[in-house]
Chains A and B, each alone.
Chain A
Amino acid sequence: MDAQQAEKKPIVRRESKNKIRVDFERTPLKERLKAKFLSVYFLGKVVWWIFRLVLMIGISYIVLFPFISKIAGSVMSPEDFVDVTVRLIPKNFTLDIYRAIIEELNYWSAFRSTFTLSLICAVIQTFICALIGYGFAKFKFRGRNILFMLVILTMIVPHQTLQLSMFMEFRYFDIFGIVRLLKGGGIELFGHNIKDIGPGVASFFESLNILPDELKLFKYEEVVRGQTKEAWRIVMAVNEEGINLINTYFPLMLLSLGGLAFKNGLYIFLLRQFFRGIPDELEESAYIDGSGTARTFFRIILPLSVPMLITVFLFSFCWQWTDDFYTNLFFVTTDTNMLVKIVGTIPPSLRMDYAGQDLYYSAIRNTCGLMIIFPLVILYAFCQRFLVQGIEQSGLAN
């Protein structure tokens, strides 16, 4: 066979002045197809292809099924939950649950406050983590490794460990006793107050009382029974123990500013890996051109890392949005309505006592969940291509 093929010479034809056409005598189509499709190699490929597709579809189903079943449950009417023939497809289609949640649970006001909080936190976290990650990636300084260990430490300490002290920290917020001093409380050292030395000292420290009893922010006008009244969106009580930051956005903002909020260690790590992948020559040439480190960072590095920044933004926004630990810890009154708090409340018009009650309430809870994540689904649809792209560029393996 080989010898035969070697003997066959290609037919060479001159088509025009400087163009040659070479025709090889080819094996017949039937044999070529045979060689291609009847081989073990090809069979293996086909089996692998089918196996992979089935596996992918199967796992997609596992991922999507909880959402599908939640959507199905959300459009069912109460009768469907006692009907044993109804599983996934509702017999009596209704949007009652959605209507009740929007009208009776103050959905839009909760949406607004959650959106504001998540946006503020996500922007701060993305920016701060980028700064910190860049510092760890591109500069050598003493104590860098120890500091990075501390970043990892903040990730390892479960936030439940700090639950109590975190609440106390922001309930009585005070930095090194400055608030106490400015509130006329003197300076406390090792359990003793300097104020106690003598009456003169005490009156001096008490005259330092320059902070108001209440810090107010964002004035707006409220209409109560036809009368316009001045009101403040944020009121924080101040006393010698500190400022009460509970029920405001400040605890989460402060945590974000320090790179200490939920999963910030992960963001810092990801961004550090990303910045490490950027060649040093880029910054060196900028330094030679006379640009400082800050300017280099903002003008050259940040524009380069937009996909990665979007990835981190997406993470921090979504995780802040669905977070219930910090939200329940820092927002204790019902005035500040957060989206995660609508879960567990049954809208009054839907309350009923019947056999399918438990399933129905479960469906209501699920619908609340769906309405919470609905905006995130839209955001994800737009941002998901950056997710892989951003991390792809980071060259994590290096």
Chain B
Amino acid sequence: MTNDMEKAAPDVEASKQSAPKKRKKIVSLDRRKARSGWLFVLPFVIGFVIIYLPMIYESIVFSFNKIIPGTGGGGYTLEFVGWENYREALFVDPDFAQTLLSGILEMAFDIPAIIIFSLFMAVMLNQKMVGRGVFRAIFFIPVILSTGIMESIEAMNILGDYVEDSTGIDDGSGTSTADQLVSAMDLQQLFANMKVGTDLVEYVVTMINNIYDIVNRSGVQMLIFLASLQSISPAIYESCKIDGATSWETFWKITFPMITPMILVNGIYTIIDSFTTESNSVMTFISNVYSQADGNVVSSAMAWVYFLIVIAIVAIIGGVLSAFVFYQRKSE
């Protein structure tokens, strides 16, 4: 509060001096700042009201109607059908509910993998080592290049599958695991005696086999982690070193708590990103429904069901994660 007073003080003096000449209304600095704040975000407000809100409204309206094309002034007319589209999406369509469920399970599997991987890689890239600049440049290539059209090209790339098939490590077992990096069977046998738990082993094995996918999707997260790692003051690490902490301890006691806010941010970003990419199975399903019959409105209803589920998941995970977040400034 005192800080605000200090801010306002010089300005009040300035406006007092100019008051007799211009008879300008004296507005407090805070209010003027609030006003210019609105001016700065004005493009978004205007865009949201003029473009986005009508689109959302229309999309919701579509999901409660049937489109009859070829009639009326705008090339189509709407017929109100109530919850019919939603009923059709959830209970009549044989595949939607199942795709939805498996899509969400897949996400529950992928998201921790992406977060762990990107954190690990960011910690690696933050250390001093030979060729760090080169590795950094290579690791961020997928962020820039493997999006949009490249993603769809990769999905239809039979040539790539063909080449990879032949270069895969053949474990000599003669089974179809030849194209996988790690054979789950071997590892499971290895870990069976170590009492690690087969689920965990399976998880790690699947993660390694999907490594290309995970690397591709963790670019932005890596970038954000890297940035937050570099903003931790080196003085803290120095004092830790003097006190004799090992780098393992330093990571868990210093680095990890300091970047928990970014784990929250990255977690939410990853959820949003993986739920909305085109390669997501639910998204592909909805797009297919949309293109099957030109402008099929059941796809609108499906998309809204999906959206509500995503919002719920983001809210739950955001809420749970934020309970564990450590804020350095809390004490101030």
- Interface, chain A (partner B; CB < 8 A): 49, 52-53, 55-56, 59-60, 62-67, 69-70, 72-73, 87-88, 128, 131-132, 134-136, 138-142, 144, 147, 150-151, 154-166, 168-169, 172, 175-176, 240-241, 254-255, 257-260, 266, 268, 277, 284, 287-288, 290, 292-294, 297, 314-315, 318-319, 322-325, 340, 343, 358-359, 362-363, 365-366, 368-369, 372-373, 376-377, 380, 384-385, 387-388, 391-392, 394-398
- Give the contact-size bracket for chain B: 35 or more
Kindly state the separation between the CA atoms of A56 and B212 in the bound complex, as whole angstroms.
14
- Whether B48 pairs with A258 at a CB distance below 8 angstroms is yes
Per a CB cutoff under 8 Å, which of B10, B145, B269, B300 touches A380?
B145
Chain B interface main SS type: helix
**B90-112, CB under 8 A of A: which get 1 and which 0?**
00000000000000000000000
- Whether A160 pairs with B39 at a CB distance below 8 angstroms is no
Per a CB cutoff under 8 Å, which of B36, B41, B58, B124 touches A168?
B58
- Whether B10 pairs with A260 at a CB distance below 8 angstroms is no
Do A380 and B144 form a contact, CB below 8 Å, given A131-B40, A140-B34? Answer: yes
Q: Is the C-beta of B44 less than 8 angstroms from some C-beta in chain A?
A: yes
The 6 closest A-B pairs by CB, nearest first: A258-B47, A139-B37, A135-B40, A322-B148, A161-B303, A165-B58
- Whether A164 pairs with B36 at a CB distance below 8 angstroms is no
Do A156 and B158 form a contact, CB below 8 Å, given A163-B290, A340-B148? Answer: no
Tell me the minimal C-beta distance from B102 to chain A in angstroms.
17
Kindly state the separation between the CA atoms of A17 and B91 in the bound complex, as whole angstroms.
98
Kindly state the separation between the CA atoms of A142 and B31 in the bound complex, as whole angstroms.
10
12 new A-B contacts at CB < 8 Å, known A166-B55, A287-B11, A322-B147: A56-B129, A60-B135, A63-B215, A150-B48, A160-B287, A162-B55, A241-B74, A254-B47, A258-B48, A258-B52, A343-B149, A365-B153
Segment of B19-27, B192-200, B221-229, B237-245 engaged in the interface with chain A: B221-229
Kindly state the separation between the CA atoms of A160 and B41 in the bound complex, as whole angstroms.
26
- Whether A139 pairs with B303 at a CB distance below 8 angstroms is no
Taking CB atoms, residues of chain B closer than 8 Å to A318 are: 144-145, 147
Tell me the minimal C-beta distance from A346 to chain B in angstroms.
13
Q: Is the C-beta of B275 less than 8 angstroms from some C-beta in chain A?
A: yes
Taking CB atoms, residues of chain B closer than 8 Å to A277 are: 231
- Whether A373 pairs with B150 at a CB distance below 8 angstroms is yes
Kindly state the separation between the CA atoms of A369 and B148 in the bound complex, as whole angstroms.
11
Chain A interface main SS type: helix
Q: Is the C-beta of B276 less than 8 angstroms from some C-beta in chain A?
A: yes
Q: Is the C-beta of B190 less than 8 angstroms from some C-beta in chain A?
A: no
Taking CB atoms, residues of chain B closer than 8 Å to A240 are: 73
Q: Is the C-beta of B115 less than 8 angstroms from some C-beta in chain A?
A: no
- Whether B228 pairs with A397 at a CB distance below 8 angstroms is yes
Do A161 and B59 form a contact, CB below 8 Å, given A87-B167, A156-B314, A392-B230? Answer: yes
Q: Is the C-beta of B114 less than 8 angstroms from some C-beta in chain A?
A: no
Sampled A-B contacts (24; CB under 8 Å) = A56-B129, A63-B138, A73-B163, A132-B41, A132-B43, A142-B34, A147-B44, A160-B276, A160-B278, A160-B283, A161-B304, A169-B54, A257-B47, A258-B51, A293-B36, A318-B147, A319-B148, A323-B149, A343-B149, A343-B153, A362-B156, A363-B159, A369-B150, A396-B227
**B194-238, CB under 8 A of A: which get 1 and which 0?**
000000000000000001100100001001101110111000000
Tell me the minimal C-beta distance from B295 to chain A in angstroms.
6
Q: Is the C-beta of B119 less than 8 angstroms from some C-beta in chain A?
A: no
- Whether A53 pairs with B149 at a CB distance below 8 angstroms is no
- Whether B149 pairs with A324 at a CB distance below 8 angstroms is yes
- Whether A258 pairs with B124 at a CB distance below 8 angstroms is no
Per a CB cutoff under 8 Å, which of B127, B140, B145 touches A377?
B145
Q: CB-nearest residue of chain B relative to A293?
A: B36
Taking CB atoms, residues of chain B closer than 8 Å to A315 are: 143-144
Taking CB atoms, residues of chain B closer than 8 Å to A136 are: 40-41
Q: Is the C-beta of B152 less than 8 angstroms from some C-beta in chain A?
A: yes
Q: CB-nearest residue of chain B relative to A274?
A: B227
Q: CB-nearest residue of chain B relative to A294?
A: B36
Q: CB-nearest residue of chain A relative to B61?
A: A165
Q: Is the C-beta of B38 less than 8 angstroms from some C-beta in chain A?
A: yes
Q: Is the C-beta of B87 less than 8 angstroms from some C-beta in chain A?
A: no
Kindly state the separation between the CA atoms of A297 and B39 in the bound complex, as whole angstroms.
12
Kindly state the separation between the CA atoms of A139 and B30 in the bound complex, as whole angstroms.
9
Q: CB-nearest residue of chain B relative to A158?
A: B276
Tell me the minimal C-beta distance from A152 to chain B in angstroms.
8
- Whether B272 pairs with A156 at a CB distance below 8 angstroms is yes
Do A257 and B43 form a contact, CB below 8 Å, given A59-B215, A362-B156? Answer: yes
Taking CB atoms, residues of chain B closer than 8 Å to A131 are: 40-41, 43
Q: Is the C-beta of B157 less than 8 angstroms from some C-beta in chain A?
A: yes
Kindly state the separation between the CA atoms of A220 and B120 in the bound complex, as whole angstroms.
56
Taking CB atoms, residues of chain A closer than 8 Å to B167 are: 87-88
Kindly state the separation between the CA atoms of A396 and B227 in the bound complex, as whole angstroms.
6
Tell me the minimal C-beta distance from A238 to chain B in angstroms.
14
- Whether A135 pairs with B37 at a CB distance below 8 angstroms is yes
Per a CB cutoff under 8 Å, which of B45, B133, B262, B307 touches A161?
B307
- Whether A380 pairs with B141 at a CB distance below 8 angstroms is yes
Kindly state the separation between the CA atoms of A166 and B58 in the bound complex, as whole angstroms.
9
Tell me the minimal C-beta distance from B28 to chain A in angstroms.
13
Taking CB atoms, residues of chain A closer than 8 Å to B73 are: 240-241
